[in-house]
Amino acid sequence: MKKKKKILFIHPLGVNWVPGETDMSRVANIMPPLGLLSLAAWVEKHGHISSVHDCYAYPVQDEKIIEKIKTDTPDYIGFSTTTSSFPDAVRIAMKIREVMPKIKNIFGGVHISALNETLLQDYPVIDYGIVGEGELTLLSLIESDGQIGKNVPGLLYRDGDEIIFTGFRNKEQLIDLDTLPFPAYDKLNGFPDLYKLPIFNYPRAPHTTAVSSRGCPYKCSYCDRTVFKRSYRFNSAGYLYDHVKHLNRKYGIRHINFYDDLFTFNRKRVEEFCRLLINKKRGITFNCAARAEHVDRDLLLLMKKAGCWMISLGIETGDSELLGVHRSNSDLEMIRSKVELIRESGIRVKGLFMMGLPGETEESIDKSIKYALDIPLNDMNLTKFTPFPGSPVYKEIRRYGTFNEKWELMNCTNFVFVPNGLTHERLEERYKEFYRRHFERYHILFDYMTMIWRSPDSWVRFLLNLRGFLRIRNTFRGNKSA
């Protein structure tokens, strides 16, 4: 009989806002750490014991983490890290090592997958790294008591002074997503009420986030695809409906944001899922993200009937030449027509833009602002381009501008990269201008006013945190006072 192992999963915080400004990110959006919740459910399915501490929901709780470790005495600590949260994970791991030196640290996530052996060489506190998809490699590791050897792909470990990487899993070695248990949401203290989608991005509470696919077949310059490579796999419509039913029955969830890169990529699956929601009603609404070329009128009308409330479209820039350099299908007129089609279908549409891409200029920013103001968006999100390790553009990024590779700041809320011909200060000015010109238009403000009855929970959250939001607004207007 195999021995039960205990593993504590930690979701480190890192830096999540512009230094010196009010951190409203945790007020506006707290998303469950779905990757860790999937791993927690997976190891428990195989007879082991897991727990989760989410530093994003409960920041600055080092003492509680140490206290929990002393009480529970886990065999392993598992960290899932992004580039910006990696230094915080290292800091926590070093604190744990001082108190409980025999506990082994396992690091996974996109940052490990992108930089692999380098991180074990530079950070001795990391005992093991899991590269790529984690479930099968993690289970093999904890059940072998660390004596895993070179025959299991996806692992980084030490053999004396040598760092061993067993290589990425090939497509045949990837897991069937329908065999996975639902993420262990019950491991999160305060779920679902503590976890919030962005305000005005949902009609009802409680709400949450789910993922129904992995990977992306496209190769945009700015996306790190080292975890799932260019594979694309998805849960079946039946599994997805059962997941929705589980969240609704067990936690009372009334709205779900599907955090997939390409929710609508497989049309047949989406149609079947929508018909299940229509025929076996759960009273659930949902959001999703899509590429414009993957939606059409018939599909949108079916999604609306099934409860689709909002679709986010990756647009990135309103400069077609710049867009063509960084992603496939740079047809802005096609994107415009799909935005209009989504609105005509009765679904809200959110445009996702990016500022500071290599090749960005004053002219391209002007084009982006004009394009965003011309198309009938309900909402908009503008990120600051970040050249993540593992993205195609990363290796040659310094050819196109200056790059401050400080991992703590690499979270899409800081301009760590400044394209040639621009300055950091100017990018900040244009960034604020972009947001200001979008959100201060009368029809956008009126749309938010209608949320009093369309998303009353959003207005409650907004009013409870009014002072912080006003401070952010004043900063965007160039007024530093509260």
For residue 159 the two structure tokens come to 């053999």
Say whether pLDDT at 28 is over 90: no
- The stretch 308-313 carries a mean pLDDT of 98
Say whether pLDDT at 109 is over 80: yes
The residue among 325, 355, 342 whose CA lies nearest residue 415 is 355
Q: pLDDT tens across 117-129, in order?
A: 999 999 999 999 9
Single-letter amino acid code for the residue at 228: F
Single-letter amino acid code for the residue at 473: R
The average confidence (pLDDT) of the chain is 91
For residue 447 the two structure tokens come to 């749309």
Domains identified in the chain and CATH numbers = 6-173 (3.40.50.280), 197-476 (3.80.30.20)
Q: Please state, as a whole number, how many other Cβ atoms lie within 10 Å of the Cβ of residue 277.
A: 25
Q: pLDDT tens across 392-446, in order?
A: 999 999 999 999 999 999 999 999 999 999 999 999 999 999 999 998 899 999 9
The residue among 350, 341, 391 whose CA lies nearest residue 218 is 391
Say whether pLDDT at 22 is over 60: no
CA pseudo-torsion sign 127, 130, 135, 140: negative
More confident residue, 57 or 73: 73
pLDDT of residue 481: 43
Q: Which residue has the tokens 């052996």?
A: 117
* 251 SS3 class: helix
Q: Which helix (H) or strand (E) holds 128?
A: strand 128-130
- Which segment of 12-21, 187-196, 216-225, 242-251 scores lowest on mean pLDDT? 12-21
DSSP letters spanning 24-44 = -HHHH-B---HHHHHHHHHHH
* 163 SS3 class: strand
pLDDT of residue 182: 98
Cα–Cα dist 12/54, whole Å: 7
What is this structure's pTM? 0.93
DSSP letters spanning 325-353 = HHSS---HHHHHHHHHHHHHTT-EEEEEE
Cα 77 vs. chain centroid, distance in angstroms? Answer: 22
**Cβ neighbours of residue 473 closer than 8 Å, sequence gap 6 or more:** none
More confident residue, 407 or 172: 407
The residue among 80, 85, 83, 93 whose CA lies nearest residue 38 is 80
Gyration radius of the chain's alpha carbons:
22
- Which segment of 183-192, 247-256, 328-337 scores lowest on mean pLDDT? 328-337
Q: pLDDT tens across 137-167, in order?
A: 999 999 987 677 677 899 999 988 899 999 8
Say whether pLDDT at 378 is over 60: yes
Cα–Cα dist 310/378, whole Å: 9
Q: Which helix (H) or strand (E) holds 470?
A: helix 466-476
The residue among 200, 240, 153 whose CA lies nearest residue 452 is 200
Residue 311: beta bridge partners?
A: 288, 349
Cα–Cα dist 271/290, whole Å: 14
Q: Which helix (H) or strand (E) holds 274?
A: helix 267-279
- Which segment of 317-326, 354-363, 379-388, 456-465 scores lowest on mean pLDDT? 456-465
pLDDT of residue 476: 66
Say whether pLDDT at 468 is over 90: no
Cα–Cα dist 214/235, whole Å: 9
CA 127-129-132 angle, to 5 degrees, is 170
**Cβ neighbours of residue 184 closer than 8 Å, sequence gap 6 or more:** 37, 38, 40, 41, 44, 50, 52
The pLDDT confidence band at residue 383, using thresholds 50, 70 and 90, is very high
Cα–Cα dist 244/240, whole Å: 6
More confident residue, 457 or 330: 457
- Cβ atoms of 153 and 130 within 8 Å: the answer is no
Per-residue CA distances from 129 to 4, 36, 81, 98, 173 (Å): 21, 15, 11, 20, 18
CA 30-36-37 angle, to 5 degrees, is 80
Per-residue buried b or exposed e for 438-460, using 16+ beta carbons within 10 Å of the residue's own CB: beeeeebeebbeebeebbebbbe
Q: Which helix (H) or strand (E) holds 435?
A: helix 424-439
More confident residue, 330 or 439: 439
* 264 SS3 class: coil
Q: Which helix (H) or strand (E) holds 310?
A: strand 308-316
Q: pLDDT tens across 197-234, in order?
A: 999 999 999 999 999 999 888 888 898 877 776 678 99
pLDDT of residue 256: 98
Per-residue CA distances from 393 to 114, 117, 221 (Å): 13, 20, 5
Instruction: Find the length of the chain.
Output: 482
- Which segment of 167-171, 352-356, 370-374 scores lowest on mean pLDDT? 167-171
Per-residue CA distances from 219 to 224, 258, 275, 393 (Å): 9, 21, 32, 11
- Cβ atoms of 251 and 208 within 8 Å: the answer is yes
The residue among 471, 383, 480, 438 whose CA lies nearest residue 23 is 471
- Which segment of 16-20, 174-178, 223-227, 457-461 scores lowest on mean pLDDT? 16-20
The pLDDT confidence band at residue 482, using thresholds 50, 70 and 90, is very low
For residue 165 the two structure tokens come to 């990487």
